[in-house]
Structure 1
């Protein structure tokens, strides 16, 4: 975590504007996000309810079946991007989602090590693409060709869309100081250094 306390505090249930209450009422009720309390990311972003509504539209594309990457592969890109961005909140949320989508605990650990950590060629291409997008905001010709040898062109596009979305999410989380939700534990590799 970059910050030990929030810069922008999550909204409580009291004192929300009607627009904030409306956007928050639609969250935390199923799908990829388990039913339960509204997550701190959304309570924080609700300070700008119009931005949160727009954010949710694109985010829902990334986490839906309209994104042609299979869920496991999508989570590889999200987790590697979150790790590279040093986003403890993002990593923590998506470790749970990644496990539900078919990643193993060993794969979660190996995601930190990168594309040379014993991955299949297809998985290594996804991780390498996330690495290149993080470092240079560009996928090299060799990595693009590797992606296309395992995935459709639309799926390769969705790799870029997914990494871009979760780079933005990580910037939001890190800068606003969004703290973990109750009951979550920060991975020691993502503690502030």
Structure 2
């Protein structure tokens, strides 16, 4: 975690305006208590609505990357951005999407760590390149195209972009872990 306390505090449910209640209602109906990421974003309802629209695409079945591969990329971005909140949330989601605990730990080592398939290594390498230079090199693009359809390659870029933005927001606003969560020791302040 970059900050020990939030710069913008999550909005307590008993202080929600009717507009904030309307935004939160569908999430409460599906998931129960609202996570800190969403309660923080309620401080800016217009931005939150836009965030939810695009984020819903990236996390849905409309994203043509399979869930496991999508989570591989999201976790790599969260780790590269040093986003403890993002890593913590998507660790569980990654397990549910088919990543093994050892794979999730290996994500920290990147595309050159032993044990990745060529397809997984190409996704991780693309995430690294987009993070470092906002560009996928020709060799990495060719490797991606050996395993993924053009739409999936575009969705890879959208996924990296979405979760880079999410990580920037989480880190800068100091969104704290939700109750009962524990921070990965590799993502403590650095």
**By the TM > 0.5 criterion, same fold?**
yes
1:175 to 158, 172, 177: 172
Distance 1:64 1:15 in 2: 30
Please say if residues 133 and 139 of structure 1, whose CA atoms lie closer than 8 Å, have aligned partners that are also in contact.
yes
The answer for the alignment partner of 1:74 in structure 2 is: 70
Q: Which whole-Å deviations, capped at 9, do the CAs of 1:19-71 have from their partners, x for residues lacking one?
A: 111111221444xxxx2210000000010111101100000000011100000
The answer for the alignment partner of 1:7 in structure 2 is: 7
The answer for the alignment partner of 1:89 in structure 2 is: 85
Mapped pair 1:47 → 2:47: no
Q: Which moved more, 1:16-25 or 1:146-155?
A: 16-25
2:135 to 127, 138, 142: 138
Structure 2: segments with no counterpart, 5+ residues: none
Residue 4 of structure 1, CA deviation: 0.6
TM-score normalized with structure 1 length: 0.96
| 2:10 match: secondary structure | coil
Mapped pair 1:100 → 2:96: yes
| 2:141 match: secondary structure | helix
Greater helix share, structure number: 2
Mapped pair 1:166 → 2:163: yes
Please say if residues 28 and 39 of structure 1, whose CA atoms lie closer than 8 Å, have aligned partners that are also in contact.
no
Mapped pair 1:190 → 2:187: yes
Mapped pair 1:24 → 2:35: no
Please say if residues 82 and 166 of structure 1, whose CA atoms lie closer than 8 Å, have aligned partners that are also in contact.
yes
Residue 116 of structure 1, CA deviation: 1.1
Residue 15 of structure 1, CA deviation: 1.9
Runs of 4+ that moved beyond 6 A: none
Residue 155 of structure 1, CA deviation: 0.2
Structure 1: segments with no counterpart, 5+ residues: none
Figure out how many residues of one structure are paired with residues of the other and give that number.
189
**CA, structure 1 residues 181+112, in 2 after alignment: closer, same or farther (shift >3 Å)?**
same
2:122 to 125, 130, 154: 125
Distance 2:174 2:22 in 1: 24
